């Protein structure tokens, strides 16, 4: 049995009769200390998947188990990094992390807690911004604070919901390297949701595509066998990388076409009307 297990999970929203099914029979199994990237188009139910993995949302059908135990509610052992950071704007960087640390490790003494928090601030290289408010930080810095807050809870699984998608390309590359470094330093099971194929290939051990919604499901995964550490500069010329990337892109675009073909045309059928040419008569 795997570390994190998702079996035939279905979920939908809305009342009966107007129901939209978001996920149908999605299954996933993640090994301990594995880095999984879930990749999908926008609107395909990625955030819903995250909500269920972290227990914020209960599936309608199927079960999600962590170490064989069903996940029924959120908790600090299911660390989540939100897409839009979710930092409390009235607390400083330190305060935001402290809120989590205090709750998760109530047994720590003051000095211990301080050391713990500062270790994680250091890990995401934010020591100079320790006492700044989120409003004074850039997007990348805010995402680092959010990451540090989640990491300081020392979760069993780290679930990241498009953590880098709101950032500009340079900051993004920078943070990707940081993520790898942190993961190497502090090994744990990671599920990352993303819409960037390159990012997925660069970071993950395995890539799981999410099919088009509605009623999306998780398709067969692509293992990434590239050796670590992966260097982004040389990666572009690496034939294996190129091959894998093309495969995934082909799979995704084909899926997109298929989905478009499958879509029921609910539009009104227009009568075939042509303008009458009065001058010709």
Partner 1 sequence: MKFKILKALDVAGLQVFDPVVRLICGENPPEQFRKILLFIGIPIITFLIFIGIWTYLAPRHTTKAGEVPTPGVVKNAADGIWVFHVRENQKAEDFLLEGPAREKALAGVQARIAELTPLASAARTKLGELETASKSQIDQQVGPLQEKYNALRKQTRADEKAREEALIAQADSLPIGDAKARDAFLAKVSEHEVKSGTEKQALKDFKSTIDAAYADKFPEMESVRIQYNAYEEELQYLSKRLDYLTEGNQSVKISEGQSELVDLQSAFLTAEGGKATLKAAEKVLKQEESIARIAESSYSRPWTFPRQIVRSVACVFVGFFIGSAIAIPLGVLCGISRVFMAALTPLIALFKPVSPIVWLPIVFIIVGGFISDPETAFVHPAFLSSAITVALCSLWPTLVNTALGVASVEKDHINVARVLRLGFFSRLFKIVLPSALPLIFAGLRISLGVGWMVLIAAELLCSSEGIGKFVWDMFNNGSSQTFAQMFVVVFVVGVIGLLLDRIMIVLQRSVSFDGAPTAI
Site residues (vs partner 1, CB under 8 A):
54, 56, 73-76, 78-80, 82, 84, 86, 88-91, 99-100, 103-104, 133, 135, 153
Q: Can you tell me the distance from the alpha carbon of 117 to that of 245, in angstroms, rounded to the nearest whole number?
A: 38
DSSP symbol at 271: P
**Min CB(74)–partner 1 separation in Å:** 5
Nearer residue to partner 1 within complex by CB, 39 or 78: 78
Nearer residue to partner 1 within complex by CB, 91 or 215: 91
**Min CB(227)–partner 1 separation in Å:** 35
Nearer residue to partner 1 within complex by CB, 62 or 95: 95
Nearer residue to partner 1 within complex by CB, 78 or 201: 78
**Min CB(221)–partner 1 separation in Å:** 27
Report yes or no: 62 and 6 within 8 Å, Cβ to Cβ: yes
Nearer residue to partner 1 within complex by CB, 103 or 232: 103
Q: Can you tell me the distance from the alpha carbon of 236 to that of 230, in angstroms, rounded to the nearest whole number?
A: 11
**Min CB(50)–partner 1 separation in Å:** 11
Burial class (CB in 10 A: 0-12, 13-18, 19+), 257: exposed
Nearer residue to partner 1 within complex by CB, 11 or 200: 11
Q: Which residues does 153 contact at the CB level (< 8 Å), separation at least 6?
A: 76, 77, 79, 100, 101, 104
**Min CB(219)–partner 1 separation in Å:** 28
Element housing 273 (H / E):
none
**Min CB(75)–partner 1 separation in Å:** 6
How far are the Cα atoms of 81, 106, 203, 272 from residue 120, in angstroms, in the given order? 15, 17, 21, 67
Give one DSSP letter per residue of 4-26, joined into a string. Answer: EEEEEEEEEES-TTS-EEEEEEE
């Amino acid at each position: 049995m795997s570390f994190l297990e998702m079996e035939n999970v279905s979920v939908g929203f809305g009342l009966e009769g107007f129901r939209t099914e978001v996920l149908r029979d999605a299954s996933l199994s993640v090994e301990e200390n594995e880095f999984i990237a879930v990749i999908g188009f926008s609107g395909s139910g990625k955030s819903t998947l995250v909500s269920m993995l972290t227990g914020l949302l209960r599936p309608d059908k199927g079960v999600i188990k962590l170490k064989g135990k069903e996940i029924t509610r959120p908790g600090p052992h299911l660390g989540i990094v939100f897409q839009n950071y979710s930092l409390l704007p009235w607390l400083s960087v330190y305060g935001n992390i402290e809120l989590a640390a205090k709750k998760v490790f109530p047994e720590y003494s003051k000095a211990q807690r301080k050391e713990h928090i500062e270790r994680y601030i250091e890990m995401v290289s934010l020591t100079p911004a320790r006492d700044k408010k989120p409003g004074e930080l850039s997007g990348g810095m805010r995402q680092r604070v959010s990451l540090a807050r989640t990491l300081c809870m020392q979760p069993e699984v780290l679930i990241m919901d498009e953590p880098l998608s709101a950032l500009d390309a340079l900051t993004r590359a920078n943070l990707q390297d940081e993520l790898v470094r942190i993961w190497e330093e502090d090994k744990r099971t990671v599920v990352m949701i993303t819409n960037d194929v390159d990012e997925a290939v660069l970071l993950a051990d395995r890539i799981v595509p999410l099919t088009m919604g509605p009623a999306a499901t998780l398709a067969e995964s692509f293992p990434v066998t590239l050796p670590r550490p992966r260097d982004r500069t040389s990666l572009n010329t690496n034939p294996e990388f190129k091959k894998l990337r093309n495969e995934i892109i082909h799979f995704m675009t084909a899926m997109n076409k298929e989905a478009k073909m499958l879509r029921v045309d609910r539009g009104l059928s227009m009568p075939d009307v042509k303008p009458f040419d009065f001058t010709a008569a």
